[in-house]
Amino acid sequence: MAVDPVTMTYRVPYADTDQMGVVYYANYLVLFERARNEMLRAYGLTYRELEQLGVALPVVEAAVEYHSPSHYDDLLEISAVCSEYKGVRIKVSCQVRRDGKLLAEGFTRHVFADMKTLRPVRPSAEILTRLRLA
């Protein structure tokens, strides 16, 4: 799958940090979600449009590997790319960097699901094309 990552910037607010002054570990999954949202938008299909097509993308697996902490007021670059598509599942790989230095990396795995039943469904040709998976 040869799709370029989509990168966004995010300035860390004080509310994202813990008592030690570093970004709380679980907030990296929130950063992944923000980047994933922007990736979908850049690919031409927002979550709202996906839901209007009757499809949800629930997370079924998530992982983060932490390399170095980030702090209040850091300007982060968060990238996301759809790195794998198989059947009804996609994997979105993410990286968080500050000034080019890798701080964290990981992924979320999602299943295409019917909005009403939440049962797995194969994505339509339109969805695959718009998400650059076809």
User: Domains of the chain, with CATH numbers?
Assistant: 6-130 (3.10.129.10)
Per-residue model confidence as pLDDT tens for the chain (134 residues) = 557 899 999 999 999 999 999 999 999 999 999 999 999 999 989 999 999 999 999 999 999 999 999 999 999 999 999 999 999 999 999 999 999 999 999 999 999 999 999 999 999 999 998 888 87
* DSSP annotation string for 97-121: EETTEEEEEEEEEEE-EETTT--B-
Catalytic residue list contains 18: yes
Q: Which one is catalytic: 4, 16, 18, 73?
A: 18
Residue 1 has a pLDDT of 53
Residue 35 to residues 5, 20, 95, 118, 124, Cα–Cα distance (Å): 10, 25, 9, 24, 23
With contact defined as beta carbons under 8 Å apart, do 83 and 133 qualify? Answer: no
Using CA atoms, how far apart are residues 64 and 17, in angstroms rounded to an integer? 17
The structure's pTM equals 0.92
